Amino acid sequence: MKGCYQKYLPEHDIYLYNIGEAQKAYEFFGCHYIPELKMHRFCVWAPNARSVSVVGDFNGWDAEKTPMEFYKNGVWAAFVPELHDGDNYKYFVYGYDGSKVMKADPFAFHAEVRPQTASKVWGIGGYEWHDASYLKRRMKRNVLKDAVSIYEMHIGSWRIKEGCRFPGFREVADELADYVSGMGYTHVEIMPVAEHPYDGSWGYQVTGFYAVTSRYGTPQDFMYFVDKLHSRGIGVIMDWVPGHFPKDEHGLSKFDGTHLYEHENVLQREHPQWGTLIFNYGRPEVISFLVSNAMFFMDCYHIDGLRVDAVTSILYLDYARDGYFVPNEDGGNIDNHAVEMLRRMNSVVLTNYAGTMTIAEESTAYPMITKPPYDGGLGFTFKWNMGFMHDTLAYMRMDHYFRQFEHNKMSFSMYYAFSENYILAYSHDEVVHGKKSMVDKMFGDYWQKFASLRALYSFMFAHPGKKLMFMGDEFAQFIEWDYKKQLDWFLLEYDSHAGMQRFVKDLNHVYTENPALYEVDDSWDGFKWLNVEDRAQSVFAFIRTNGEEFVVCAVNFTPVVRENYWIAMPREGMLERLLCSDETRYGGSGVVPEKKIETRRQALNGMEHSAVLTLPPLGAVYYKFTLKSKGDGEK
């Protein structure tokens, strides 16, 4: 490399990348404009390539015209004049194995709209952010004690615009910000928006890890999307996919003619279920690539959280392998290198961006997912509670009569509720592939299905753990989600669906306005069963508290009205109704219990007091509980 250019190739950044310690590798690798030179610098890691060239619109895609020079430690570089944002390019890689392949830039910020696959010259700056006050407030938050109600969505199918074009980030943001804030959600979680070739992967098979998909616009358009939601106080969580990548020729697969990003060993290289390649977490440069990628979205796009996809597949060497796998150095089935990658990612992200969160989608009993790395944990902020989801949905599919024999499906989650910091998630995975929509999963006739779903949501929002539901669940979309078309918004013309939407809106507001429902999600100090053994009537009642305020929740999971139903109470006081899922404006039958109820000095379930109320059919009620006198008794 000529001496005049060498100072624009900082050796320290390359060194950090090579030892797995880089946190912002995107500031060096990829395509960057160098104002002093009036040139664009291209840098790519391809240590085993025989040669690399930059090809694109600017040179007629001729591999002979713009060769890159091998700088050091596996890095190739070139400086090219007279390029502009929007110019298409790739790397022409003459691989170690003799292959000659045009590869997209692993660090490109923008790309062509599929099915085209070229990277684009694109500056990541130029957007004027307006969320400084939001970010300042975020730094002071403790998300573990905050209300968190997440609206999970797929941008391409939320609302589709005229014709067949994809909706744009900007137009979606304008509508979405009004909608989710009005509905009372605190966060939006977007399914992956990194560049991907196949719509049907929903974004979970990524080829451009640093490029926001051009389907919906430019990087600056995505910045506007995040900024707009921040302006309404809505946090943005993004699904992040460090577990695998597809075999598409222009992607990371055999990038320099060797298995560079993926494992060389065939038993470790591929996910049998998905036909995708697994990152080699034992390679330092791969760690730098992934950790920097997580940091990139927090840094450049002001993202508030990362939901890490398929953590189970990352952790287990024998995942979906029918016993054929390469064990770790101790003979076990845990990928220790992957464990260290996740710990490092969580530590780097959460220490650099106070008030943000990382979330693990992990479905096993792997210990200490949400404990800090210094205590032997993985360091995630939250974990999806897959057990709660499976048990509650299995229960709600049952005939009402048989629920009495599976009563513990609704209470079992409390045996482990505080072992991790949980999010209770009814996600997109539960409304696809023949699983039916949320409302259609419910047992019973048409009316009973809607009543049951309102009861289930009531149980979920009062249960310890943060909340997540997928788009369409809030108005009871009746068919499964289809990524090729928009939600059935026309259903809101019907009372049952409009009523469900009103109910979810009110439920969100009751949840976010009552700290007793969310401030103590991690211990028994915030939860107490009142009635938990009433199998015969399929009723559950419990109290939530933050030590100062109290909310009682009672749910009847049968279609029978329970009149004069006794609920144990820990203290003497007054109950004042906050919410009833059976109100007619929600589509209910109108069985609404008393507005105010005084406790009685009648012992029940080991407590000295109790209250009598009417429970609606397949319904739930929330009451705010005010102590008659404050004392040192049980709360």
582: left (phi over 0), alpha (psi -120 to 50) or beta: alpha
The answer to whether 237 touches 357, Cβ cutoff 8 Å, is: yes
Asked if 180 contacts 188 with a C-beta cutoff of 8 angstroms, the reply is: yes
Residues 6+ apart with CB under 8 A from 69: 1, 76, 77, 78
Query: Active-site residue numbers?
Result: 309, 361
Integer Cα distance of 199 and 203 in angstroms: 7
Amino acid at 388: F
**What gap in Å lies between CA 396 and CA 502, rounded to an integer?**
22
Q: Which of 554, 461, 556, 558 is nearest to 506 (CA)?
A: 461
SS (H, E, C) 246-271: CCCCCCCCCCCCCCCCECCCHHHHEE
Angle of CA points 451, 455, 460, to nearest 5° = 150
Angle at 424 (CA atoms; ends 420, 426), nearest 5 degrees: 145
Tell whether omega for the bond before 81 is within 30 degrees of 0, i.e. cis: no
Continuous H helices in 195-283: 219-231, 266-269
From the number of C-beta atoms within 10 Å of its C-beta (0-12, 13-18, 19+), residue 124 rates as buried
Residue 48, C-beta contacts closer than 8 angstroms, at least 6 positions apart: 74, 95, 96, 256, 257, 258, 260
